[in-house]
């Protein structure tokens, strides 16, 4: 992991050069293309709306001791990949697009390498509940594109969407928890009417997914005065609450661009609507620090763009970083399976945030 000075340079390079150019490309492309279809034999029937999502973790009563933590090589101060996705489309038309096949392969690789998805709000709050020896991963989707989610005539996730693929991979790999975070703007999933939007958001929230704030119209917040920043965030909050997903606990910055007043992104109010986020997410270049680390910044959480390792992505995107974490297992977050303890190698004792120190289980 690089120094804080290097981190600042990475944010500048990756967010401005890689993300802004690619997202502007998306804005200029039509967004109404139908999502790719998946053969009926590959479809997965989701659990009914309202049924509690499956919980992943150790059985009640299991306590991680130093001996057990050493056995599973737990390191809950390790790095966590927070993956950033945009459109999932059959034909890529922008550099940050991913095809359904690429998306599926990446999810299957994550499952095979012992990653378990958690939501952005769980991660930001430090509520990480994955089995011992496994690692958390956060799947995040910007802009609420139609390729992320939609309901078919039967009220099930439309085949070929990101949610349908996540469910299929979870069915193939039972330990792979079907959870992700969708950060939306004023027209979630390209749905034109409020009843359609409410049905989609209701299905997602009822099935354990997170739907949260990506501002009202996706502006570059750094170019706006404080009042307009608060207006952008608060208008999105009103929509989320109307649709049954608010108040949001997390927000992703459009283009990864921080307002001139960093505090305004984290909390504020506009015309009677207040917001207060547990975590604000950037547009990525590196894995995130553990939320238990004393240098973890909830107001500027790093993400990694999902992409190959060519060109601008040689050292910034998911293929590079997932391979790097595989080759450096001591740097990766590995769970002890006990949500009431934070297991770490003794050498890291001084790197944990003060309020978490009573929970430390060092070995």
In the numeric block, which tokens belong to residue 199? 């049905």
In the numeric block, which tokens belong to residue 240? 């989320």
pLDDT tens for residues 164-208? 999 999 999 999 999 999 999 999 999 999 999 999 999 999 999
Strands (E), the chain: 82-85, 115-118, 135-142, 181-184, 210-213, 250-252, 267-270, 273-276, 279-281, 304-305, 342-344, 360-362
What is the four-CA torsion angle of 153, 155, 158, 163, rounded to 10 degrees?
170
Question: In 3D, which of 257, 268, 270 has the Cα closest to residue 222?
Answer: 257
For residues 226-240, give the mean pLDDT.
98
pLDDT of residue 105 exceeding 50, the answer is yes
Sign of CA dihedral 55, 123, 138, 204: positive
- At residue 284, the pLDDT reads 80
pLDDT of residue 347 exceeding 50, the answer is yes
For residues 29-47, give the mean pLDDT.
39
- At residue 40, the pLDDT reads 36
Total residue count of the chain as it appears in this document: 363
- At residue 60, the pLDDT reads 52
Which residues have CB under 8 Å from 6's CB, separation 6+? none
pTM exceeding 0.85: yes
High-pLDDT (> 70) share of the chain, %: 83
| Phi–psi pair at 111, nearest 5 degrees | -60, -45
Question: In 3D, which of 107, 105, 89 has the Cα closest to residue 25?
Answer: 89
What is d(CA 125, CA 130) in angstroms, rounded to the nearest whole number? 15
pLDDT tens for residues 40-93? 333 344 444 444 444 444 445 479 999 999 999 999 999 999 999 999 999 999
Strand partners, 268: 275
Domains contained in the chain, CATH given: 4-30+77-339 (3.20.20.370)
Of 196-200, 240-244, 313-317, the one with minimum mean pLDDT is 313-317
Q: Which of the listed ranges 25-39, 53-67, 239-253 does the model predict with the highest average pLDDT?
A: 239-253
Average pLDDT, the chain: 88
pLDDT tens for residues 131-164? 999 999 999 999 999 999 999 999 999 999 999 9
- At residue 84, the pLDDT reads 98
């Amino acid at each position: 992991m690089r120094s804080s000075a290097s981190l600042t340079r990475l944010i500048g390079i990756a967010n401005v050069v890689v993300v802004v150019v690619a997202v502007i490309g998306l804005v200029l492309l039509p967004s109404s293309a139908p999502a790719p279809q998946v053969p009926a034999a590959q479809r997965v029937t989701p659990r009914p709306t309202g049924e509690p999502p499956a919980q992943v973790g150790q059985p009640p009563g299991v306590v991680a001791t130093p001996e057990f933590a050493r056995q599973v090589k737990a390191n809950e101060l390790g790095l966590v990949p927070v993956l950033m996705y945009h459109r999932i489309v059959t034909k890529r038309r922008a550099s940050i697009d991913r095809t359904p096949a690429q998306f599926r392969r990446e999810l299957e690789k994550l499952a095979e390498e012992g990653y378990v998805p958690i939501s952005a709000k769980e991660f930001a709050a430090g509520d990480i509940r994955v089995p011992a020896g496994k690692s958390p991963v956060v799947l995040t989707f910007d802009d609420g594109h139609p390729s992320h989610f939609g309901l078919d005539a039967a009220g099930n996730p439309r085949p070929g969407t990101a949610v349908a693929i996540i469910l299929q991979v979870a069915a193939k790999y039972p330990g792979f928890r079907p959870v992700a975070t969708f950060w939306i703007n004023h027209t979630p999933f390209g749905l034109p009417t409020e009843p359609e939007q409410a049905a989609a958001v209701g299905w997602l929230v009822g099935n354990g997914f997170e739907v949260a704030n990506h501002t009202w119209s996706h502006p570059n917040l750094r170019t706006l005065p404080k009042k307009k920043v608060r207006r952008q965030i608060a208008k999105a909050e009103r929509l989320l609450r109307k649709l049954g997903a608010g108040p949001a606990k997390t927000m992703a910055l459009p283009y990864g661009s921080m307002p001139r007043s960093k505090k305004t992104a984290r909390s504020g109010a506009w015309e009677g609507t207040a917001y207060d986020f547990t975590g604000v997410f950037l547009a990525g270049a590196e894995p995130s620090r553990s939320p238990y680390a004393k240098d973890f910044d909830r107001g500027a959480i790093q993400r990694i763009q999902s992409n190959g390792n060519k060109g601008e992505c040689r050292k910034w995107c998911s293929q590079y970083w997932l391979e790097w974490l595989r080759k450096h297992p001591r740097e990766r977050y590995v769970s002890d399976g006990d949500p009431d303890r934070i297991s770490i190698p003794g050498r890291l004792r001084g790197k944990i945030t003060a309020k978490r120190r009573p929970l430390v289980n060092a070995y």
